[in-house]
């Protein structure tokens, strides 16, 4: 019984991290149809920024990291994605792919290919007893911060004029523009929020793994894609749900798969995604939007 509860706590913590990543990706997808490979590179930049500012007090470091990553996100929007806005999904996808490799190349050039290690939030490395379970303090921090951020995003999208405009743009970009929503502002805001989520995800990711490489963004961003596909393309809350489902699936597979199959766990997860897409091309909670013949 307690083993099951322990696994559930692990899944909740992992799911919170996944949800941070998935929401960053889903926000851009819902507004401009962009599947942003470069989101992984924002996380990578966040990781290296942690290293650059490691000497400062943690609160200052965190603020600087978030600022740097938001700045990079806005720069990506202005320099690359604004020019292809409204192009086909494939063009957007390839643009983000190219951008992602470009940033990775830059990291290779300036930071080198060798892994670097950084100690973030080391004080949270211990565990604490909660209701008979041993829970890492870092896990508690991830779960708590994510809950606050999700609530904050919900408030932002419902209660602020900009948030309402973003929701309108996600619903129907063209109509929203016709009604006076400023496209550049809304898209820039989406990139800003997405960048902030990437920065916080980077802090927690690096705090739990401790290593930095130029290619470290790939795995998280794939997880983000899978989560939004699982939940339903274009729906924010479905993306968060998908992230928690994926985390639960991962943790349970890890715990209960027979030993010989464990190395193939990722293959099973991704194959599962393809099968889900086959039957539900718009995700579990998705709605078909395309023309049907």
Partner 1 sequence: MTGPRPDPQTPDPQTPDPETPGARVTGAQATGAQATGARAGARRSVLARSAPAVVCSLLVLAVSGLALLGSETTQRTATQMLVMGVITVGTYIYVGNSGVLSFGHVVFVGVGAYTTALTTLPRGLKQALLPALPGWLAELELGLPAALLVSGVLSVLVAAVFALLTLRLDGMAAGIASLALLISVNVVISNWDAVTRGSQGIVGIPADLTIGTAVPWLIGAIVVALTYQSSRSGFRLRASREDPVAAAALGIRIRRDRSVALVISAFVCGVGGGLYARFLGALTPGDVYLQLTLLTLLMLIVGGIRSLSGAVVGTIFISVLAELLRRIEAGGGVGPVEISPHPGVQQLILALTLLLTLLLRPGGITSGRELGFAPSGWLGGRRKGPRPGTAVDEPATRSDAAPPRAGRDNVPAAKQGHPQ
Residues that bind partner 1 (CB under 8 A): 32-33, 35, 80, 83-91, 93-95, 97-102, 104-110, 112-113, 173-174, 177, 183, 214, 218, 222, 225-226, 229, 233, 263-264, 266-268, 270-271, 273-275, 277-278, 281-282, 290-291, 293
Query: Residue 252 and residue 51: Cα distance in Å, rounded?
Result: 33
Are 41 and 215 contacting, i.e. CB atoms less than 8 angstroms apart? no
CB-based burial label for 57 (10 Å; 0-12, 13-18, 19+)? exposed
SS3 labels along 240-291? HHHHHHHHHHHHHHHHHCCHHHHHHHHHHHHHHHHHHHHHCCCCCCCCCCCC
Residue 136 CB, nearest approach to partner 1 (Å): 27
**Nearer of residues 137 and 177 to partner 1, judged by Cβ:** 177
Residue 174 CB, nearest approach to partner 1 (Å): 6
Q: For residue 136, what are the β-bridge partners?
A: 127
Residue 195 CB, nearest approach to partner 1 (Å): 19
Indicate the SS3 state at residue 61: helix
**Nearer of residues 3 and 291 to partner 1, judged by Cβ:** 291
Q: What count of other Cβ atoms lies within 10 Å of the Cβ of residue 118?
A: 16
Query: Residue 246 and residue 231: Cα distance in Å, rounded?
Result: 9
**Nearer of residues 83 and 123 to partner 1, judged by Cβ:** 83
**Nearer of residues 62 and 186 to partner 1, judged by Cβ:** 186
Residue 237 CB, nearest approach to partner 1 (Å): 19
**Nearer of residues 204 and 220 to partner 1, judged by Cβ:** 220
**Nearer of residues 59 and 178 to partner 1, judged by Cβ:** 178
Query: Residue 236 and residue 169: Cα distance in Å, rounded?
Result: 13
Residue 188 CB, nearest approach to partner 1 (Å): 15
Residue 246 CB, nearest approach to partner 1 (Å): 12
């Amino acid at each position: 019984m307690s083993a099951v509860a322990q696994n559930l706590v692990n899944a909740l913590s992992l799911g919170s991290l996944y949800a941070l990543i998935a929401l960053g990706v889903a926000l851009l997808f819902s507004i401009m149809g962009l599947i942003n490979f470069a989101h992984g590179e924002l996380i990578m930049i966040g990781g290296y920024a942690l290293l650059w500012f490691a000497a400062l007090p943690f609160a200052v470091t965190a603020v600087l990291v978030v600022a740097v990553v938001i700045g990079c996100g806005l720069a990506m929007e202005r320099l690359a994605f604004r020019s292809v806005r409204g192009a086909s999904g494939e063009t957007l996808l390839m643009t983000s792919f190219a951008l992602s490799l470009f940033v990775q190349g830059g990291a290779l050039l300036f930071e080198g290919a060798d892994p670097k290690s950084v100690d973030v939030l080391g004080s949270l490395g211990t565990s604490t007893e909660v209701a008979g379970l041993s829970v890492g303090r870092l896990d508690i921090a991830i779960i708590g911060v994510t809950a606050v951020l999700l609530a904050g995003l919900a408030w932002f999208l419902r209660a602020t004029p900009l948030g309402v405009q973003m929701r309108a743009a996600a619903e129907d970009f063209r109509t929203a523009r016709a009604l006076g929503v400023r496209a550049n502002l809304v898209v820039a805001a989406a990139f800003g929020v997405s960048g902030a989520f990437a920065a916080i995800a980077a802090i927690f990711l690096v705090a739990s793994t401790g290593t930095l490489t130029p290619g470290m963004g790939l795995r998280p961003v794939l997880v983000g894609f899978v989560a939004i596909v699982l939940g339903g393309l274009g729906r924010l809350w479905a993306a968060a749900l998908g992230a928690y489902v994926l985390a639960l699936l991962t943790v349970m597979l890890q715990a209960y798969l027979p030993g010989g199959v464990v190395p193939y766990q990722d293959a099973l997860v991704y194959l599962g995604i393809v099968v889900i897409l086959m039957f539900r091309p718009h995700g579990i909670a998705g709605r078909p939007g395309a023309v049907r013949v």
